[in-house]
Structure 1
Amino acid sequence: MAGQMVGGAFLSASLQVLFDRMASLQVIDFIRGKRLNEGLFKKLKIKLLSAHFVLNDAEQKQIWNSAVREWLDELHEAIYDAEDLVDKINTEALRCKMEAEYGSSSTHQVLNLFPTRTSTSFNEHVEYKMMEILDRLEFILDQKDSLGLKGDVQTKPSRRLPTTSSVEESGVYGRNNDKEAIIELLLTDNGSGNDNMSVIPIVGMGGIGKTTLAQLVYNDERVKKCFELKAWVFVSEEFDVFKITKTIKERVTSIIFKGQDLDLLQVQLEKALRGKKFLLVLDDIWNEDYFMWEVVKKPFECGAYGSKIIVTTRNESVASVMCNNVQSYQLATISDENCWKLFVKHAFNNVHPYVHPKLEEIGRQIVIKCKGLPLAVKSLGSLLRNQLNPDEWEKILQSDMWELPKEKNSILPALWLSYHYLPSHLKRCFAYCSVFPKNHEIDKEDLIKLWMAEDLLKAQKDKRIEEVGEESIKDLVSRSLFRQVLREPWYEKSPICYTMHDLVHDLATFVAGEFCLSLDVNNSNKFLNKVCHLSQENEKEHKYDFKRYEYLFRAKCLRTFFFPLQCYGGIQLQLQNLVAIKLLPTLTCLRVLSLNGSSITELPDSIGNLKLLRYLNLSKTRIKEMPIFLCALYNLQTLILSHCGQLKLLPTDIGRLINLRHLDITDTGLERMPLEIGNLKDLQTLTEFIVGKDSGSTLKSLRDLQHLRGKLCFSELNNIVNVEDILVANLKDKKYLTQLEFWWDYFDDIDNYQMHSRVLNGLETHRSLKLLKIENYRGQQFPKWVGDPSFCNLEKIRLGGCEECSILPPLGQLPFLKHLMIEGFDELVTIGDEFYCITGGSLAMARPFGCLEILEFYNLQKWEEWSFVDQVEGRDAFPNLKKLVLGCCPNLTAHICLPNTTQEVSIRKCRKLELLGMQQLFGNLGKLHIEESCDTVNSIAID
């Protein structure tokens, strides 16, 4: 089974991508059309296939053999060169196609893909580079026999020593709460339906203590008394149905089974378990095959109600396959203080640390380095046992985890297993993440775009490449290599991001070798010519070393370059000139360039030299205009210009960027959209559409952008002259757009409010919409589609600045609306039956606002009456309301009857409001805020 789980060596996926590119019709036709040497091309593929033959063996041997690791690095570098060459051929073919379609001009001249001062032709450069790569590959492959590398080998990582149920409780720290939580699950009869037994998965990264926790629980006296039969089985990578069944049978019966008949074995096990309450521990499960688990568990179903199986695994997918009715238990790291206790036990050999104060000081820093991982603490502690020389302790503190003595370092083998069983394409995705600094919060959408730019995602016919990226992230989370964390609520991007444990980051760094580097002051001397992916920490003036950037001129193969977010003081102009004017034109292999947040004010025309560029992030820069040469970057997939407040226009020829999929222009100074925007047929993300003065017809171009998804904000809608333009755009057919915002200019002095109504009516959207914002709309009422119950996916609505509206749209029957905000309706006096969809005194369908949890009203100056639906046909309004906010509604005198689900009420500047009838809520409220409100109230009684 283990062999089936291994997805292939790291470089296998790189070679497969390369082979696919080499076999593409576009590349083959170009080679034949340009009469390039096809023989060299075929020879290159054969050489690469020869390398592919020994990759599995080499990947496993590199852990302990530095010569093999160096050999792999040399091969990796040659593969990178071959990828660059094929990408340049592909790009030249694309350029020829584009110029044949659009025509050539001085502004779209051919910029050399092979920078040189000579006039050598493109063909000659390609053939010269191909021969150079072939010579390197031949030299590299000549070394494989001397390194003992064998072909077609499905190697297995070093197996873990089998675990047993025994545990030394005095050596376990920080797991008491976890132990009690698992025991509570064990002692609770939570079988469901026909299931007499339930599975309790303990999930966590390698070395976190899953087995230890299971041992603690297994040996607890309460557990022993609860179960008639118990068995502990160490499974590990090889999920052998017969072996597992045989072990369990022999443990519960104490009788050796000598046959090979699985059916007879399962019959005997079923007989032994029938009617008895049992506890099984299956330690270290890797199998994700549901049908194999179904075979294994057949004899367990005859056990007594309340029987339990504890499963320890690193993989959430394994837990989901095996678990029937209990949520998996995610095991967290332990505190630094408990780590220290564990470290003392293993490092100080029962001597109190205060006897060696210098060692204690260094030891506490080593413990912090372990980031709560018990295995790392024990491993480093045992390395230092009986070692009293502070210099040796300092070496451990400063060393890379993988540079520790191999024979005593148990951290690398434990974590290597998680890497070893990744599919080959996912190994590349994982290794790439070492380019981020430790503790970096990784944004999902951005990471997927970076993986796309580097060709790290395995294309699938039935899925968008972005969906493949989402699945890859889920897989890394499932395998405990990524941790999902929540950002602060004010963060502008997704509230969910991902981080890597420091030791997992070290593993990714080990795998990536010299090709990925997060450059900071401490490791700047490690910068080598092989680096392909580079990120940098923010520069600080007192630490700044200008020479560091001169190293980059050696990085001719650099593919990823993250410039520091901020540079300080007098270095700004100097650094800008170095990077933008001198450095960038030399980095012709770049796929990813991020100047996010830098002080750069303009891009040089030589940006057009970066022909292979696929990801360009210029957000939060001072860019004022985009050079027209940008439109010659035909490979560009992602262009991020968010928060570029000084940027006024996009290039008129932007339609040439035929591979562009993501264009982020959130919060820019753009005045209008270019006419050619409609040529970007593959565009998935367009964050904003600005309707410029006298350019309303550009809205028609949206008709051809059928793949738009996510969020789209329309601004300056007051500039629309012809409503037909909106109808041509046909938003109703854009089923992937889930968030739409419609903005009119607040300071627009237009008197034709009927035009606003016609425009909003024409903007009717697809029923897949989840979020709707309408701002500064001046119509006197809303079109029928706003509030139509058929919008069954709508979860959040914000209506603001609708100064002429005296009546709210009928929102009460939107079935899944959870959050509603109403603000700045200057003419609104009464909220009555129409708001709840009550017609003729009767309520339509269901209770109004049945799913609404948050209701907010702000700045409603004339609002006086609020008619709460109370027991209309036995169906109250707001049955699930949790939060109510009333802000600056000075004339409101309503008698508010809130449901008992309300947990938070905030009232501000509502002086005429009374609190009659609210006392019954105080028992459920978690928060009540009253400010400059409720003048008639002089006391509140709370029981």
Structure 2
Amino acid sequence: MAESFIFSIAESLTAKLASRAYEEASRLVGVYDDLQDLKTSLSYVKAVLLDAEQKQEQNHELREWLKHIKLIFYDAENVLDQVDCETLRKQVIRDYRTSKDKVGRFFSSSNPLVFRYKLALQIKDIRMRLDRVAADRDKFGLQVIDVDRRVVHRREMTYSHVVESDVIGRDYDKEKIINLLMEPSLDNNAGSKHISVIPIVGIGGLGKTTLAKLVFNDERITDSFPLKMWVGVSEDFNIKQLIINIINAASNFVSTGALPGQQNLKELEVEQLQYRLRNMLEGQKFFLVLDDVWNEDRVKWVEMRDLISVGAQGSKVIVTTRSQSIASMMGTVAYSHHLESLSPEDSLRLFVRWAFKEGEEGKYPDLIRIGREIVDKCKGVPLAVRSLGSSLFSKHQIQEWESLRDKEIWNLPQKEDDILPALKLSYDEMPSHLRQCFALLSLYPKNHLFNSFDIASLWGAAGLLPLQSQDKTTVDVAHQYLSDLMARSFLYDVFDFGNLYAFRLHDLVHDLAVYVAKDVCQLVSSNTRGISENVLHLSFVENGLPSNSIKPSLRGVRSILFPVDNQGASEAFLDAWVLNCKYLRYLDLSDSTCETLPRSIGKLKHLRYISLQGNTRIKRLPNSICKLQNLQVLLLNGCSNLETIPKKLRKLISLQRLEITTKQSILPESDIAKLNCLEHLSVANCDNLESLFFETRLPTLRTLEVIDCAKLKSLPLDIHHFPQLETLVISGVDSEDCLDRSDDTNAVLKLKTIVLSEMVTLPLSLQQYARTLQTLVIAGCYELEVPPEWLWNLSSLKFLYIFDCPKLKSLSSDIHRLTSLQVLRILNCTELYRKYEPQVGECWHMISHIKHTDIRKTWE
């Protein structure tokens, strides 16, 4: 299915070849004429690719033709990337060369004459292969279509918290589940030890999780259960991880704040975790949701059930699952609650809500008639209805609606749990560039919590984001793409922090991502029987996988990542896999156990991203890492034993994001100051760090994070040091004296986002950003009782988030002065929830005018 975004690859190649910067680079390297010939061949093929994409489903020979072109394009991307690498290498040589280096280079393999000759041969080979394949284009009767006219019609941002009025057709189901939960005992199984388990069963996309959330947030449930916990389970029923998730869910709910040592739970043994879990639950009447259970191993479930059975009489558990056998195994009630499809009337109501602006549907009776026929094919599955409605949002041409209705994919035979044709159709309606980005989300396991910074890095390293401009950074573009996916209902549980999105994928959407990316992306586990010959992106989701061999065909791999916590790479893995992948662009070694990196890491000249975050064993990095002139992201946060940052960091001239944990007391300011592309800098858990950039000017920095640096005495915050700074994150700072306040109003930063975490008081100096600040996050301030007066002077504030501040008593009547405020989210703040609870709290009237409010007693 990777052929469904081949046009996007062609566009990217064409745009690169046509850019002035690349033309200059190709002249500098000496292959300008060769690349102009390649551009001509590429244009001839590109002209018919959009038509070929649309016709390939029913034409096997056409699909094979596109596969050949795709492989040629991959080789072309690698060759063009070599031009970039050589250009950056020359720039570093120009700036930092010595006479010794100059002599050594003439006799080395990097001799520019040798490089030019080899590269010209590669370009000629690609052009000849492309011309041979292009000669067959006419036999398919393809039309020339130069512009991808599939566009995204954007709607207003939606939020993850379930608003009951937005859910259609589930009132009966909700009341039935609540009635079961309110009954004193549902125990039909003496072995359950007072814990009643109610399964909600249904196929993917029916809304099992949505129904469970409606129940979870109902006031009657909150009043009846002193402790509520929500835990996503998904495919891996790992007992240790489940215990950790339940402890975290419980500690998020209780008013005492984070438990001592909560952040170190993963370092504890299972027996210690079990002891802590039993202590938390013993004698408590609790309500637990285990969302999306796939485990059919009864032994594991009995072990888990026995651990939580120390709760008080009347404790209840809801399990959502697609499997009736799982429901029978786990349930203790007489029957499971089988969630049915929506009725045709409710399906149409839901479809209309997503396809039209509010009240607009009355103008288009013909579209409503066609919409009813589309909805009939969705078989009452809300996710399908919502997704297709979103894909037609603001499209008012009858032909567009009829085209979607008449797609042949509806007629393909399908099993109950197959990928829904409706979702595939929504995917087909995406522009080609968006399809390619969506496909890479398949590299993460189900129920993964994504953040937009990491996704921007992945997409950027893969070359899926357009070249950076003065108006937009790559992160800006990534946020726009994620917003487009949200508009199509492909993302859920979305948190918008202004400069950062956090989100998840619905399981069925994840299945779709895996399906469309199957020739390009692969998740590797102990069940993996083989790896696709031309795979580009590999994700290792288990520890202990064999690493003693690698196929030569895998040397084209561009991404390797370990997305699951505490499942990082070993040194054996690095030697066997990573160092053989000469075109590697993205290397995520988070939580790895290697004590060092090999010097040969410097040969991976295509690398854009490398993460060692969470590696507590590594002490030093080879200086050869500074040969990676393409590197855009270097993450060393959580490397608590790292003694020093590599020398000559200044040579990483493309670096945009740098995150550091080190034992050094002084950072190499002279090196960091020369990183002229640096946009994001994080300094975290640097226990010895005393000062930060007294003299250094970082002209491109947009985000600065300073986290848990106990000895830090001062942080200069003025426009002379950080002229472009927009986002500031401060966490665990003991004294507000650390934050300088400028007396010069012309030197005040133009901050848009501030995140304050784990602080006793909120610095007075922050009021100087009142005119520009749009997002304020206050989190984990467990002793904070009264918000500062300056908070109500933030005239430009649009987003206010307050999390985990259990002693905060009131928001003050002055909140009405925040005239620009659009979103207020309060989570796990016991006192505030009591006073500002929607509709019933004594102070609700003070905030009821705010457009979007999300006030919850606990995290879900």
Structure ranking higher on relative contact order (CA contacts 8 Å, 6+ apart): 2
Cα deviation 1:773-816 (Å, max 9, x = unaligned): 58599xxx97666699768757455898999xxx9975575567
* Residue matched to 1:165: none
2:458 is aligned with 1:450:
yes
Distance across 2 between alignment mates of 1:53 and 1:377: 30
Aligned 1:552-631 pairs, distance under 5 A: 552-563=551-562, 565=564, 576-621=570-615, 622-631=617-626
* Residue matched to 1:379: 414
Query: Secondary structure of 1:73's match?
Result: helix
Q: CA deviation at 1:122?
A: 0.6
Distance across 2 between alignment mates of 1:476 and 1:281: 24
Distance across 1 between alignment mates of 2:207 and 2:29: 58
1:528 to 532, 544, 549: 532
Distance across 2 between alignment mates of 1:438 and 1:799: 28
Instruction: Give unpaired runs (5+ residues) of structure 1.
Output: 1-7, 158-173, 182-203, 221-231, 249-278, 287-310, 323-374, 382-396, 403-410, 746-754, 825-830, 838-842, 859-879, 886-898, 904-924, 929-943
Q: CA deviation at 1:900?
A: 3.3
* Residue matched to 1:640: 635
**Contact 2:433 2:464 survives alignment (8 Å):** yes
* Residue matched to 1:906: none
Distance across 1 between alignment mates of 2:613 and 2:730: 22
Letter in 2 for 1:560: S
Query: Secondary structure of 2:716's match?
Result: helix
Instruction: Give unpaired runs (5+ residues) of structure 2.
Output: 151-166, 175-202, 209-339, 376-384, 397-409, 846-854
Cα deviation 1:660-718 (Å, max 9, x = unaligned): 222223x55454321221222332211227899797473321x3334322644483555
2:372 is aligned with 1:314:
no
**Contact 1:789 1:813 survives alignment (8 Å):** no
Q: CA deviation at 1:448?
A: 1.7
2:681 to 682, 686, 704: 686
**Contact 1:564 1:598 survives alignment (8 Å):** no
* Residue matched to 1:498: 504
Query: Secondary structure of 2:606's match?
Result: coil
Distance across 1 between alignment mates of 2:103 and 2:664: 27
Aligned 1:226-375 pairs, distance under 5 A: 282-283=371-372, 314-316=388-390, 318-319=392-393
2:490 is aligned with 1:481:
yes
Name the Cα RMSD after superposition.
Answer: 5.7
Distance across 1 between alignment mates of 2:513 and 2:828: 46
**Contact 1:284 1:313 survives alignment (8 Å):** no
Q: CA deviation at 1:597?
A: 1.3
Query: Secondary structure of 1:687's match?
Result: strand
Distance across 1 between alignment mates of 2:389 and 2:104: 50
Distance across 2 between alignment mates of 1:45 and 1:85: 13
Q: Structure 1 residues 775, 131: CA separation in 2 closer, same or farther (over 3 Å shift)?
A: same
1:135 to 124, 128, 143: 128
Distance across 1 between alignment mates of 2:345 and 2:590: 49
Q: Structure 1 residues 109, 758: CA separation in 2 closer, same or farther (over 3 Å shift)?
A: farther
Query: Secondary structure of 2:58's match?
Result: coil
Query: Secondary structure of 1:13's match?
Result: helix
Q: Structure 1 residues 776, 127: CA separation in 2 closer, same or farther (over 3 Å shift)?
A: same
**Contact 2:767 2:793 survives alignment (8 Å):** no
Cα deviation 1:486-514 (Å, max 9, x = unaligned): 79x9xxx9783221433x44443443342
Distance across 1 between alignment mates of 2:705 and 2:364: 53
2:842 to 900, 905, 908: 900
Q: CA deviation at 1:23?
A: 2.8
Q: Structure 1 residues 507, 732: CA separation in 2 closer, same or farther (over 3 Å shift)?
A: closer
Q: CA deviation at 1:428?
A: 1.3
Letter in 2 for 1:680: L
Query: Secondary structure of 2:519's match?
Result: helix
Query: Secondary structure of 1:704's match?
Result: coil
Q: CA deviation at 1:141?
A: 2.5
Query: Secondary structure of 2:42's match?
Result: helix
Query: Secondary structure of 1:474's match?
Result: helix
Distance across 1 between alignment mates of 2:755 and 2:7: 43
Distance across 2 between alignment mates of 1:115 and 1:650: 29
Distance across 1 between alignment mates of 2:829 and 2:640: 31
2:454 is aligned with 1:419:
no
1:770 to 741, 754, 766: 754
Q: CA deviation at 1:580?
A: 2.4
Query: Secondary structure of 1:528's match?
Result: coil
1:125 to 103, 106, 118: 118
Query: Secondary structure of 2:601's match?
Result: helix
2:542 is aligned with 1:538:
yes
Distance across 2 between alignment mates of 1:134 and 1:761: 59
Letter in 1 for 2:388: R
Distance across 2 between alignment mates of 1:528 and 1:156: 32
Query: Secondary structure of 2:729's match?
Result: strand
**Contact 1:792 1:814 survives alignment (8 Å):** no
**Contact 2:355 2:392 survives alignment (8 Å):** no
Distance across 1 between alignment mates of 2:829 and 2:556: 56
* Residue matched to 1:77: 71
* Residue matched to 1:362: none
Distance across 2 between alignment mates of 1:510 and 1:609: 34
Aligned 1:1-12 pairs, distance under 5 A: 10-12=5-7
TM-score normalised by L of structure 2 = 0.59
Q: Structure 1 residues 902, 567: CA separation in 2 closer, same or farther (over 3 Å shift)?
A: closer
1:736 to 708, 720, 726: 726
Q: Structure 1 residues 564, 773: CA separation in 2 closer, same or farther (over 3 Å shift)?
A: closer
Query: Secondary structure of 2:557's match?
Result: coil
**Contact 2:717 2:739 survives alignment (8 Å):** no
**Contact 1:450 1:592 survives alignment (8 Å):** yes
Distance across 1 between alignment mates of 2:633 and 2:433: 21
Letter in 1 for 2:114: S
Distance across 2 between alignment mates of 1:654 and 1:558: 27
1:42 to 18, 33, 36: 36
Letter in 1 for 2:625: L
Distance across 2 between alignment mates of 1:122 and 1:579: 31
* Residue matched to 1:659: 654
Q: Structure 1 residues 791, 713: CA separation in 2 closer, same or farther (over 3 Å shift)?
A: farther
* Residue matched to 1:894: none
Q: Structure 1 residues 715, 18: CA separation in 2 closer, same or farther (over 3 Å shift)?
A: same
Distance across 2 between alignment mates of 1:761 and 1:460: 32
Distance across 2 between alignment mates of 1:585 and 1:110: 24
* Residue matched to 2:517: 512
Q: CA deviation at 1:521?
A: 2.8
Distance across 2 between alignment mates of 1:819 and 1:480: 26
Cα deviation 1:840-871 (Å, max 9, x = unaligned): xxx99979xx999989999xxxxxxxxxxxxx
Cα deviation 1:358-406 (Å, max 9, x = unaligned): xxxxxxxxxxxxxxxxx9999326xxxxxxxxxxxxxxx9xxx59xxxx
Q: CA deviation at 1:719?
A: 5.1
Letter in 1 for 2:493: Q
Q: CA deviation at 1:87?
A: 0.8
Letter in 2 for 1:128: L
Distance across 1 between alignment mates of 2:440 and 2:348: 42
Distance across 1 between alignment mates of 2:701 and 2:599: 31
Q: Structure 1 residues 208, 29: CA separation in 2 closer, same or farther (over 3 Å shift)?
A: same
Letter in 1 for 2:578: L
* Residue matched to 2:233: none
